[in-house]
Chains A and B, each alone.
Chain A
Amino acid sequence: MSLSATRAPSPPAPPPQLPPRRLRSKDRFSRFDLRVSPYVFIAPFFVVFGVFGLYPMLRTFWMSLHKWNLTVPERATFIGLDNYAKLLDDKWFWNATFNTLGLFLVATIPQMLLALFIANMLNRGLRWRTFFRMSILVPNVTSVAAVGIVFATLFQRDFGVINWILHFFDIEAIDWRNRRWASWTVLATMVDWRWTGYNALIFLAGMQAIPKDLYESAAIDGANRTRQFWTITMPMLRPTLIFVVIVSTIGGLQLFTEPLIFGGETSGGGILHPYQTLALYMFENGLVQYSRAGYGAAIGGMLFVMIMIFSLLNFLLIRRSVR
């Protein structure tokens, strides 16, 4: 690179010595190249995303208006909003909605607070800086499947390490799998173990972009660390905060793999479904029972609306509360 850099300021446009005809065709090519190449370069993204990302998502809405069997798609019949009407009467849909929103809150709120706390600690003059950053990011390199398997075992009722630790505090062995709050605790732990460090690093990146002299003048004015955090760090971090919370909302409301592995083969989120999420319920309705694909698509549609509402709510909330 440095080699070509030194060669860079070559003499401006050499005098035209080529025969005129060739120049013209070359000229035409280069004009075409200049005009079209940018679009050719960015086209693959839009084509692939359009075909495999956007189109299926929009088609979810279309399918949700039909009685649709994946094995005989040609016999799909238009039924308007019937699937949605049926959903509103489906107690398992409401159960899954409750689980999804509950799990999202139980997992996300502690995760955000903890990530902010860790980022704030990492944003100091530290020794072993890289070691700390890498250690908190290691969980994010672990696959969700591995996380699910390991934590399900740590929280196993009879020989799990967690129950063993709890017995020192005279707490009886908890059946983590079959009670709602207990299973939510396990799932929230899985999510937070994997994502807290990652989000802490994103927050840290945002914190480091804040000019240091703001803190210096605040310190001269007598503001202590805590005050500095609330009056400088938090307001300046607002764009990062909005970004992280919205991304976590979108991811959190689509929770799938953790409850799938925790529940085992049934894919139903436990006996009596104490942790069946909407994504699991959608999977079960479209991809386990092919004949209910339209209904499954309607669950996807509802989830989409929920994600939009929650993202907007979070956006407004953070914009108002942190200024």
Chain B
Amino acid sequence: MNASSRLWRASPLTYIALIIGVLLSVYPLYYMVIIATRSLDSINDVPPHFTPGGAFGDNFDRVLAAENANFYTGLINSVIVSSVVTLSVVFFGTLAGFAFAKLRFRGRNALMLTILVTMMVPTQLGLIPLYDMMFRFNLQGTLLAVILPFLVSAFGVFLMRQYTSQAVSDELIEAARVDGCSTFRIYWSVVLPAVRPAAAVLALLTFMEQWNSVLWPYAILNAENPTVQVSLTLLSFAYYIDYSMVFAATAVATLPLVLVFIVFGRQIIGGIMEGAVKA
């Protein structure tokens, strides 16, 4: 194109290195598919297999039959938890992001800074008191216990603030005010439609994070009412592991997200990189 882009052209060696990187990134997932679709005894074969088989149905039947893991309940629970948390994070994130980007109020900068600092707080260290709290509310083993702590996200507020400040013009908000809109009305009918692209990225990232979360659900839920990741963890805790069965479950828990990622990957990458630049 011009001088600068010629200066930056990648060499064949770069391509080779990147392709090796791609193979290393994808192989473990492919291996998951291989084991998930082959019969139990083929795990012991040497050399290992490099192509998928046709036993997925049998393997997955054994997943559903495994009584210690309630995989099917886990799937449904994960859909519920991830959806509720995603809706909430997006709603409160866009709302607070709008306030920080466009409204003037005392302490705005200090409060925004506080939110950024909370991203660095290792909240996992509050595990035992949080567990205790849920017990006192009698919420142990319920989905509410898994949902409540994650209803808001600092990253969500931050990402939406960045996007709102560039995507919505001040004149537009002023005009809506002059037309007699309340602040919430402005949020609902002016800001929210304008920030939809970033809100969608936030939704995808949040859904994935919740779908994949292990530690807190594993601590507070039990085998009767698990999330899908808790089910997986329990399935993997056997003395004699039925590998094809565990891998079939793993594949079912993982591949839908990978598919979503393939469809929306460009936007997700944009969101991650956008959030990073100014952080």
Residue ranges of A at the interface with B (Cβ–Cβ < 8 Å): 1, 4-5, 7-10, 12-13, 29-30, 33-35, 37-39, 41-42, 44-46, 48-49, 52-60, 63, 70, 73, 118, 121-126, 130-139, 141-154, 158-159, 161, 164, 193, 197-198, 201-202, 204-206, 208-209, 212-213, 215-216, 219, 240, 243, 246-247, 250, 253-254, 256-257, 260-261, 264-265, 279, 282-283, 286-287, 293, 296-297, 300-301, 303-304, 307, 311
Contact = CB atoms under 8 A, between A and B. Distances in A.
A118 B46 contact: no
A5 B253 CA distance: 43
A247 B120 contact: yes
B140 to A, nearest CB: 11
A57 B125 contact: yes
A59 B272 contact: no
Interface in B236-261: 236-237, 243, 246-247, 250, 253-254, 257-258, 261
A307 B126 CA distance: 14
B123 interface: yes
Given A143-B253, A159-B46, A293-B128, A45 B172 contact: no
Contacts of A287: 127-128, 131, 219
Contacts of A144: 212, 214, 229
A298 to B, nearest CB: 10
Contacts of A254: 122, 124-125
A296 B212 contact: no
Majority-rule SS of A interface residues = helix
A261 B254 CA distance: 16
A150 B28 contact: yes
A159 B45 contact: yes
B105 A159 contact: no
Interface of B: 3-10, 14, 17-18, 21-22, 24-26, 28-29, 31-32, 35, 43-48, 92, 95-96, 98-100, 103-105, 108, 111, 115, 118-133, 135-136, 148-149, 151-152, 154, 157, 169, 171-172, 175, 178-179, 182-184, 187, 190, 193-194, 208, 211-212, 214-215, 218-219, 229, 232-233, 236-237, 243, 246-247, 250, 253-254, 257-258, 261-262, 265-266, 268-269, 272-274, 276-277, 279
Contact of A303 (B24, B92, B125): B125
Majority-rule SS of B interface residues = helix
Contacts of B274: 205
B230 to A, nearest CB: 8
B129 A60 contact: yes
User: Across chains A and B, which 6 residue pairs bring their CB atoms closest together, nearest first?
Assistant: A56-B126, A143-B212, A52-B149, A286-B128, A205-B273, A57-B126
A134 B96 contact: no
Contacts of A145: 212, 214, 229, 232-233, 236, 250, 253
B178 to A, nearest CB: 6
B254 A143 contact: yes
Contact of A53 (B123, B172, B182, B208): B123
Contacts of A250: 120, 122
Given A5-B169, A146-B250, A201-B269, 20 more contacts: A4-B190, A42-B96, A45-B96, A48-B148, A53-B149, A57-B121, A59-B126, A121-B17, A134-B269, A137-B272, A138-B261, A142-B212, A144-B229, A146-B32, A153-B43, A243-B276, A246-B120, A287-B127, A296-B128, A303-B125
A322 B113 CA distance: 25
A95 to B, nearest CB: 19
Given A42-B96, A146-B253, A286-B127, A132 B18 contact: yes
A240 B275 CA distance: 11
Contacts of B277: 205-206, 209
Contact of A49 (B45, B99, B152): B152
A33 B183 contact: yes
A239 to B, nearest CB: 8
B149 A264 contact: no
B116 to A, nearest CB: 10
A256 B122 CA distance: 13
Contact of B272 (A8, A124, A198, A213): A198
Nearest to B124: A254
Contact of B124 (A48, A52, A256): A256
Contacts of A304: 122, 125
A282 B127 contact: yes
Residue from B105, B124, B183, B272 having most chain A Cβ neighbours under 10 A: B124
Contacts of B169: 5, 8
B247 A143 contact: no
Contacts of B254: 142-143, 146
B123 A57 contact: yes
A118 B22 CA distance: 11
B22 A132 contact: yes
A150 B126 contact: no
Contacts of B133: 52, 56
Residue from A198, A296, A297 having most chain B Cβ neighbours under 10 A: A297
B219 A293 contact: no
A198 B261 CA distance: 14
B43 to A, nearest CB: 6
